[in-house]
Amino acid sequence: MTRIVPHLWFDTQAAEAAEFYVALFENSRVLSRTKIADTPSGTTELVVARLAGQEFQLLSAGPQFRFTPAISFLVACASEDEVNRLHAALAQGGSDLMPLGPYPFAERYAWVMDRWGVSWQVMYRSSLGGGPKITPTLMFVGAQCGRCETAIGRYAELFGGAVSYVDRYEAGPGLDKPGTVRHAAFTMAGQGFAAMDSAHPHLFGFNEAVSLLVLCDNQNEIDRLWAALSADPAAEACGWLKDEFGVSWQISSPLLEKLMNVQDPDRKARVTRAMLAMKKLDLAALENA
């Protein structure tokens, strides 16, 4: 079954951040750590972790990209005390984007950028129903503002999901255009996501610091998703692509993880060289390598 995993690109701190997040969230642990030599970034380290029961991948690969709030992680808290605890830990060495307090949509909420720049929304709402503990949330800003509903509809269709909820801006004194998306919930490949438009003058957008890693069952699925999503030939490399909305994706496979997670350095080097020469991944060629 296809899975979608948030992938976070750090400079050198992926392992440090993973340990911090694992200690912060219940039902969390580091699953694996893999070093990959001779990449364009030198020797990189990939850390796979489960945070609150959900898989994340964290990569140390150099300072090329900086985290932005364009993709944040919404944490559904069981109490106001949990919001306070998570906020205190995440804000240490970081900064608030929306300060801790009550809001019209939640009894207790904060949007905080942690010490590495990763954005988290921590929220307690007594009426909040069941769902994932951590929900990746996409914010469409700048030239992409107003395209949120179109984007999530296409994503849901492409990954066999659905748009379950859309709350729209109404006419008012703010910058947001009536009818655009204040908050939406949708699913892809059976997993929960959220999204919004924001017309405020943000000086950021989507980039490769946070990408969506799609683990496909076979080459046919890789081919289908690559053809549907890739909209920027200059961004195609090693299974990475950018879609028409600027969101970065990696169209990959558990097979690549299996081939890379070995003790034989020569075998790992051959697979790495083969992968670095590819745009769209070719699973048969990786196996041959």
Return the CATH fold of 216-289. 2,3-Dihydroxybiphenyl 1,2-Dioxygenase; domain 1 (3.10.180)
Q: State the pLDDT at residue 66.
A: 97
197 token code pair: 């438009």
CA atoms within 13 A on the CB side of 254: 7
Count of alpha carbons within 13 Å of 49, Cβ hemisphere only? 26
| Structural domain boundaries in the chain | 71-197, 216-289
The pLDDT assigned to 128 comes to 75
**pTM confidence score:** 0.96
Q: Tell me the fold of 71-197.
A: 3.30.720
End-to-end CA distance of the chain: 25
Predicted confidence at residue 131, as pLDDT, reads 80
- Rg of the chain (C-alpha set): 19
Sign of the Cα torsion 125, 149, 217, 62 reads negative
How much is the pLDDT for 257? 86
Exposure of 159 in the CB half-sphere (CA atoms within 13 A): 28
pLDDT of residue 229: 98
Give the mean pLDDT per block of 10 residues along the chain (289 residues): 95 98 98 91 95 98 97 97 98 98 97 98 87 95 98 98 97 93 97 97 97 97 98 97 98 92 85 95 95
Work out the number of other CB atoms within 10 angstroms of the CB of residue 120.
26
Stated length of the chain? 289
